[in-house]
Structure 1
Amino acid sequence: MRPVHIFTTAQDNWLIEGVRRALQVHGVQVLVIGVDSAGDLLNHTVGGANTLPTNSLLLPVFPEKQMLTCLRSLTFLSEWRALQQGLFRLQAPCLLWGEAPVIRQVKCRDMPYIPWRVSPQNLGLRVLGGIRTWHAPGGGRFQREMFRSIRLSPREAEVLRYTMEGRSLSWIAEKLGVTSKTAWTHRYRAMNSLGIRRLHELMQLPGGMFCT
């Protein structure tokens, strides 16, 4: 098998090293590359073509209680989807790794994912299986269902933005011309869509995530 290129949104060196060793256990030469955005993939195209190396795989991660990492992965998936429609069709198999609540936003019927707590040997087998399925006849169906991005209504995004500015529910309600209960409902629905349960988790996120 040719060398495997894994592009992951993981930022922790120990996690990247863990992925590398999980593949090496199976006798595979592997290069694990951390990416912040789908645009970073353009730095790894080969042969003067808009293609990724053979045996490439995308591995966005969704660890529990790491909301910033999860949202970075969602942003990566959204950007990558956009690339499929333009000049740079950087197609590759993709496995979602993790079970954070926010993964509900991207788990589709045909979208494979790996449980977060999995043995290194099992992780390696799942990654290799994903690559083999992609290259098998009919493998394009492997991810025909594309990713759903976060869908917040303009009002929900507005309520979140004001909340992150430190505004109270009563202030938000008056600003929007609604009752405090309605403002609370908008905030609750938006946070639930993001898999966020506590306000202090919301306050850690960059406000630009919710621009409409």
Structure 2
Amino acid sequence: MSAENSITVDVVSDVVCPWCFIGQKRLDKAIASAGDIDVHVRWRPFQLDPTIPAGGMDRRQYMLGKFGSEERIREIHARIEPLGEAEEIHFAFGAIKVAPNTLDAHRVIRWAGAAGEDVQNRLVRRLFRLNFEEGVNLGDHAVLAEAAGEAGMDASVVETLLPTDADVEAVRNEIATASRMGITGVPCFLIEGKYAVMGAQEADTLADAIRQIAQAKARGELETATG
């Protein structure tokens, strides 16, 4: 396909954000309905809470500290669960025992991007499912290495790199860049690096945005607008 018919979507997200999981499913639908537009997806890091210790925290205690009561937590989950079911996500919030620090998960996602767009997309989907549907601790290096292998990466290389500081600063710098751009919540879909669609918008909304920007790009209007 021609470059004019090619669109890049950078998704700023965190793998422990349920709205990001919903947003991923809706983006898939949007891409499928966007016609012959060639959409390239890249996953960018964001941390909902970078203050969580490297070893994680008890999720129940963490949620109570954040939201104040079991009733409030139940209300939040009850609001999200049916939206997930509509996207074929089976949220198992009760199975999640650990609130992890997601810095290491984002490092692996970054390495997956270097291995290829398809690899990165497979990894992100697997991490979402592991956390939200299986209740697996995404701060566990063994879990991350296994998920990387399932996505098509060399699990042994990931296992070797995770205990090091490889790309820690690079990921933190990307998160800082998102903050400087004014991104305070996720998911955020950056289309062609210029147009931001905030939140887990409906698939039709995302598809319309992709089509409109693709058409503007084909007319040469994106360069004009930023020139």
TM-score above 0.5, yes or no: no
Query: Greater helix share, 1 or 2?
Result: 2
Whose Rg is larger? 1
